Structure 1
Amino acid sequence: MSEQKESSVLFSLKELMNLEEDRIKSEEAQKAAAAAAAEKARVEAERAARDAEEHRIRTEEERRRNEERRSREEAARLEAIRQAEIEKARVEAEQKARLEAMAAQQHHERSLAALQQDEGKKKLRKLLIGGAIASVLVIGIVTVVAVDSAQKNEARIQAEAARARELEEANKRLEAQFKESEGKMAGLRDQLATAKDEATRLALQKQLEAEQQKQEQLRRGGGGRPAAGGAPASGGGTKAPCNCAPGDPLCSCL
C-alpha cells in the first residue's frame, strides 16, 4: 500500500515538473515572439522614416527645379521683350533719319527751284545750299549714331544670352550632382539597415553624414554657382564705363 502511494506521489511530482517546464517554455516562446515583433516594428518604423525623408527630399528637389524653370522662363520672356523694344527703337531711328533726309532733300529742291527764278539771289542760294549740306551731314551723323547704338545693344544682348546659357549649364551640373548624391545616400541607408556589426554601422553613418553635408553644400550653391541672371555680385569694385550713345533712351547706364 505504501509503495503505491509513493508511486502516486512521484507521478504527481513528475506531472507538476512537466507542467512547470511547459509553462517556462511557453513564457520563453512568448518573450521571443514579443522581441521579434518589437524588432520587426522597429525595422518597419525606420524604413517608414527613411521613405518619408527620401520623399521629402524628392519633393523639395522637384520644387526647386520648378522654381528654377519658372525663373529661366521669366528671364527669357523679359529678354525677348527687351530685344523687341531695342529693335523697335532702331527701326524708328532709321525711319526718322530717312524722313528727315527726305524732308531736307525736298526743302533743298524747293530752294533751288526758287533760286533759279531769281538769279539775283546768289548769296542766299549759297547759304541755303550750305544749310542743306549741313542738314544732310547732321542727319547722316544721327543715323550712324543710331546704328552704332543698335549694334552695341545687340552685342550686349548676345553677352547676356551667353551668361544665361552658362547659368543653365551650371544648373544642369548641380542637378546631376544632386541626383548622384541622392543615389549614394539611398545606397548608404540600405547598407546601414542591413549592417550586422557596430563598426560597419558607424562607418556607414559617417559616410552618410558626409554625403548629407555635401548635399547641403550643393543646396546652398556649391560655392561656385553663378548668381541669378548670370550677373556678377557687386562687391564694391570699379564700375564699368558707359558705352551708350548720348541721349540713348534705352541705355542701361541711366
Structure 2
Amino acid sequence: MSEQKESSVLFSLKELMNLEEDRIKTEEAQKAAAAAAAEKARLDAERAAREAEEERIRQEEERRRNEERRAREEAARLEAIRQAEIEKARLEAEQQARLAAMAAQQQHERSLAALQQDESKSRLRKILIGVVAGVVILGGVSGVMIYNTIQKNEQERMIQEARAREAEEQVKRLEAARKESEAKEAELRRQLESAKDESTRLALQKQLEAEQAKQEQLRRGGGGSARPASGGAPASGGGTKAPCNCAPGDPLCSCL
C-alpha cells in the first residue's frame, strides 16, 4: 500500500515537473516570437524610412530637372527675341542709310540739272558735288554707328541677364542643399534618440555634427553672396571704369 502511495506521489511530481517544463518552453517561445516581431517591425520601419527618403530625393531631382529645362527654354526664347530685335535694328539702319543716299542722289541730280544751264557756275557745281558726296558718306557712317551702338547695348543687357540668372540659380542650389541638410539632420536626431548602444550613438553624433557644420557653411555661403544690381554696373570704388569706345559727338553713346 505504501509503495502505491509513493508511486502516485512520484507520478504526480513528474507530471508537475513536465507541466512546469512545458510552461517554461511556452514562455520562451512567446518571448522569442515577440522579439522576432519587434525586430521585424524595426526593420520594416527602417525600410519605410529609407524608401521615403529615396522618394523625396527622387522628387527633388525631378523638380530640379524641370526647373533647369524651363530655364533653358526661357533662355532660348529670350535669345530668339534678342536676335529678332538685332535684325530689325540692322534692317532699319540700312533702310535709313538707303533713304539718305537716295535723297542725296536726287538732290545731286537736281543740282546738276540746274548747274548745266550755266557753265559759268562750274566751280559751284564741283563744291556741291563734294557736299552731296559727304552727305552720302555721312549717312552710311551714321547707319553703321547706330547699328553698332544697338548691338553693343544688347550685348550688355544679355550679360546682365546672364549674371542675374546665375545668381538666382546659385540661391536655388543653396536653398535646396540647406533643406536636404536639415532633413538629414532631423533623421540623424531621430536615429540618435532611438539608438541603444554607445558606439552607434557616437557614430550618429559625429554625423550630426558634420551635418550641422555643413549647414553653417551653407548659411555663410548663402549670406555672403549678393545678387547683382538690376543695372549691372560695378560698385563704386571697387573697380576701374570701362573705356569709352563711342565716336565723338555720338548722341546714342552710353558713356555719357
**TM-score bracket for the superposition, by shorter chain length:** 0.5 to 0.7
Segments of 5+ residues of structure 1 without an aligned counterpart are: none
Match of 1:18 in 2: 18
- Which residue identity is paired with 2:235? G
Match of 2:79 in 1: 79
Segments of 5+ residues of structure 2 without an aligned counterpart are: none
Match of 1:68 in 2: 68
Asked if 1:232 corresponds to 2:228, the answer is yes
- Offset at 1:247? 4.9
- Offset at 1:84? 2.0
For residues 18 and 122 of structure 2, the distance between their equivalents in structure 1, rounded to whole angstroms, comes to 146
Match of 1:108 in 2: 108
Counterparts of 1:214-225 in structure 2, within 5 Å, are 214=214, 223=222
Higher relative contact order (CA 8 A, sep 6+): 1
For residues 246 and 80 of structure 1, the distance between their equivalents in structure 2, rounded to whole angstroms, comes to 28
For residues 216 and 51 of structure 1, the distance between their equivalents in structure 2, rounded to whole angstroms, comes to 28
- Offset at 1:90? 1.5
Could you say if the C-alpha distance between residues 233 and 132 of structure 1 is closer, same or farther in structure 2, counting changes exceeding 3 Å? closer
Local SS of the residue matching 1:117: coil
For residues 243 and 73 of structure 1, the distance between their equivalents in structure 2, rounded to whole angstroms, comes to 34
Scaled by the length of structure 1, the TM-score of the pair is 0.67
- Offset at 1:61? 2.2
Scaled by the length of structure 2, the TM-score of the pair is 0.67
For residues 68 and 12 of structure 1, the distance between their equivalents in structure 2, rounded to whole angstroms, comes to 83
For residues 225 and 117 of structure 1, the distance between their equivalents in structure 2, rounded to whole angstroms, comes to 80
8 A contact 2:146–2:252 mirrored in 1: no
8 A contact 2:149–2:252 mirrored in 1: no
For residues 210 and 54 of structure 1, the distance between their equivalents in structure 2, rounded to whole angstroms, comes to 21
For residues 66 and 141 of structure 1, the distance between their equivalents in structure 2, rounded to whole angstroms, comes to 47
Size of the aligned set, in residue pairs, is 232
- Which residue identity is paired with 1:237? A
For residues 124 and 65 of structure 1, the distance between their equivalents in structure 2, rounded to whole angstroms, comes to 73
In the TM superposition, what whole-angstrom CA distance separates every residue of 1:87-106 from its partner, at most 9, and x where no partner exists? Answer: 22012202320231122112
